Amino acid sequence: MQFKKPLKLSEIADILACKFIGDSALVVKGINEIHQVQKGDICFVDHPKYYDKCLQSAATVIIIDKEVECPVGKGLIISANPFADFNKLGKKFSPFAKAEQLHSKEAEIGEGTIIQPNVFIGNNVRIGKNCLIYPNVSIYDNTIIGDDVVVHANTVIGSDAFYYKNRGSSREQLWSIGNVVVENGVEIGAGCTIDRGVSGSTIIGRETKIDNQVHIGHDTVIGEMCLFAAQVGIAGCVAIGKNVTLWGQVGVVSGISIGDNAVVLGKSGVGKSLDANKTYVGIPVDEARAKWKELALLRQLPGIIEKLK
C-alpha cells in the first residue's frame, strides 16, 4: 500500500513511539510485506530466521525487534513488537470505513454493467463495462473489476487475509490493507471467496474461468486463461502462470509457483512448485506418468510378497 504522500523515517518512528537508526529524512512511500517490497517501502521482521532476507530486500525501512547493523541507505525502526507496529501503521493509513449504504457513492460502475438485487459494493470499488454481477455478491472496499466480468451469486471478493500470529492465549490478525484485481473477461462461479492482499493485490488474470465454491488466498497472482474447477483451494502468496488448469478439489499450499500450461488432476495436494507444460496428480503431487507407474507397482506388491513366502 502506498501512502497518499511520502513521509520521513523520523515521522514513522514518532507514530510508533520507537527508536530509529538511519537518516531521519529518509523518504518512506508505503508499507508492504517482505515478498513484494519495493524501494521506499516499510516491511517488518520479528524472527532471526528472516533478518537477512528482510535487511537485504528492496525495503527502505525495516521494523525489527533487535538492534542490528543498519544496511547502507536504509533505516531501521527498533520495536518490541514489529507485527503489532506494522498493524498500527496499516490501521492508521488504511482504517476500516463503515458502509453507509448497499452501493457506496464512491463506487464507479461502467456502462452496460448489470447489478442484480442485494449486491453489496464497498468504498472505492471500480467495476468496468458490460459486467454481470448476480444477486447477493459482496464486493469489499478497493476491489477493481475489469470489463466483461461475470460474478455469480453469493461470491465474496475482498475478504480479509487468513494471516494470524500466535500470542499464546490468542491469535492476532495481520490487518489487510490490499485489494483484489479481477481482469477483463474473468468469470467467477457461485459461492467463491477471494481474499484481498495483505498489503498488495490478489490478482485474477484475464479470461480466467473459476467454477463454484473456489477459494483464493491473499496476494495470490493468477495468470490469464486459467481454468479452476469446483472446490479448488489456493492458499496465499501463490504465483500461477498462464493457461493453468486445476481440476476439482485440488489444494495448493502457500508460497509456491505453478508454471504455464500445467494441469493438476482432481483431488491432488500441491505442496511444492510445479514446472510448466506438465500434468500432475496425487497426494503429494507428482508428474502423472510417474504417479501412475507407482500405483501400478503398488498393485503388484501383494503378489510379489506372496511369491516370496
Distance in angstroms (rounded) separating the CA atoms of residues 89 and 16: 8
Q: For the domain that residue 278 is a member of, what is the CATH number?
A: 2.160.10.10
The pTM (predicted TM-score) of the whole model is 0.91
Q: How confident is the model at residue 111 (pLDDT cuts 50, 70, 90)?
A: very high
Q: What is the pLDDT of residues 85-107, one digit of tens each?
A: 999 999 999 999 999 999 999 99
Work out the pLDDT band at 303, boundaries 50, 70, 90. Answer: confident
Q: Is residue 306 a part of any domain in this protein?
A: no
Neighbours of 304 (CB within 10 A): 9
Which residues are paired to 138 by β-bridges? 120, 156
Structural domain boundaries enclosing 39: 2-93
With 90 as the cut, is the pLDDT of residue 229 above it? yes
* Overall domain count for the chain: 2
Q: How confident is the model at residue 254 (pLDDT cuts 50, 70, 90)?
A: very high
pLDDT of residue 231: 98
Q: What is the DSSP string of 184-206?
A: TT-EE-TT-EEEPPSSSEEEE-T
- How many residues would you count in the chain? 309
User: Is 34 in the same domain as 159?
Assistant: no
- Does 149 map to a domain? yes
pLDDT at 142: 96
Instruction: State the DSSP code for 17.
Output: T
What residues are labeled active site?
Answer: 218
pLDDT score at 124: 95
Looking at the fold, whether 88 and 136 belong to one and the same domain comes out as no
Residues 58 and 125 grouped into a single domain: no
CA atoms of 250 and 176, how far apart (whole Å): 26
Q: Is residue 249 part of a domain?
A: yes
Specify whether 161 is located in the same domain as 207. Answer: yes
pLDDT at 302: 82
43 and 187 in a single domain? The answer is: no
* Residue 296 counted as domain residue: no
Mean of pLDDT over the chain: 95
Question: What local confidence, expressed as pLDDT, does residue 258 receive?
Answer: 98
Q: Does residue 12 lie in a domain region?
A: yes
Q: DSSP of 208-260, one letter per residue? A: -EE-SS-EE-TT-EE-TT-EE-TT-EE-TT-EE-TT-EE-TT-EE-TT-EE-T
Same domain, 79 and 131: no
CATH of the domain at 23: 3.40.1390.10
Residue 167 and residue 208 in one domain: yes
C-alpha cell at 257: 509457483
C-alpha to C-alpha distance for 116 and 153, rounded to whole angstroms: 9
